[in-house]
Homo-oligomer: A and B are copies of this chain.
Amino acid sequence: MERALEAISFDAEGLVPAIAQQHDTGEVLMVAWMNRDALRATLAEGRVCYWSRSRRALWRKGETSGQVQMLRELRVDCDGDTLLLLVDQHGVACHTGRRNCFFRAWRDGGWVELAAPLVDPAALYGSARESG
């Protein structure tokens, strides 16, 4: 596992951005950050764990909401400074209750919402938002 980390260039804060992509549909679900421990946990557990910059803690995706991401494959880019996670997303990836976080598109001079929430965030989190 440490050999996996050797290929990765973590930034000055020890972080690297990670894109989560649904493995079978190609849908880009979200982007979050990982530090070394988050990546170790992800590889060890097969379940995606990020680093929450706001809470300054490991963030096992779905720990509050149940909307976990199971890792199918880890990829790294040419410069080693961005990760691509092929995942199987259970439920919704976005804290707003949408399947993915990129639900706003710039069309004809305005932002258009492409998707409505599939679930009520309050049902996922109660009063505690799970976030990066």
**Which of A44-52, A62-70, A104-112 lies at the interface with chain B?**
A104-112
How many copies of this protein are present in the complex? 2
Total chain A interface residues with beta-carbon distance under 8 A:
39
A75-103 Cβ-contact flags toward B at 8 Å (1 or 0): 11111001010000000001110100111
Q: A residues near B, CB below 8 A?
A: 1, 3-4, 7, 17, 19, 21, 25-28, 30-31, 43, 73-79, 82, 84, 94-96, 98, 101-107, 109-111, 114, 132
- Knowing that A19-B28, A73-B106 are A-B contacts, what are 20 other residue pairs whose CB atoms are under 8 Å apart, sorted by A's residue number? A7-B104, A7-B111, A19-B19, A28-B28, A30-B77, A31-B77, A31-B82, A43-B106, A74-B105, A75-B105, A75-B106, A75-B114, A76-B102, A76-B104, A76-B111, A77-B101, A78-B95, A78-B98, A82-B101, A84-B102
